[in-house]
Amino acid sequence: MENLIFNANLQEFTQKIDYITSLQIGGKVTPEKAYKQIEALYKQLDKSKNTLNIGTNKGI
């Protein structure tokens, strides 16, 4: 079950990254702002991974 939840989180992460990079390429946001937004999204994804115990023996 945890893997399914993380997979959904990962898909959402990639969709948001695509959106942010499109905005940056289109000149709507600065590279610095895009980087900070992506960094925040990555931290959320990492927190989700840790909360769900993905990649550890705890989830087994």
Q: What is the pLDDT of residue 57?
A: 65
Q: What is the pLDDT of residue 54?
A: 92
Q: Is residue 10 included in any domain, yes or no?
A: yes
CA distances (Å), origin 35, targets 11, 17, 32:
19, 10, 5
Rounded Cα gap, residues 36 and 1, in angstroms: 31
Written as tens digits, the pLDDT of the chain (60 aa) is: 899 999 999 999 999 999 999 999 999 999 999 999 999 999 999 999 999 999 876 544
What is the number of domains present in the chain? Answer: 1
Q: What is the pLDDT of residue 59?
A: 45
Q: Is residue 36 included in any domain, yes or no?
A: yes
Residues 6+ apart with CB under 8 A from 3: 54
Q: Is residue 15 included in any domain, yes or no?
A: yes
Q: What is the pLDDT of residue 38?
A: 98
Look at residues 49, 21, 48 and name the one whose alpha carbon lies nearest to residue 37. Answer: 21
Q: Is residue 60 included in any domain, yes or no?
A: no
Q: Residue 40's domain spans which residues?
A: 2-54
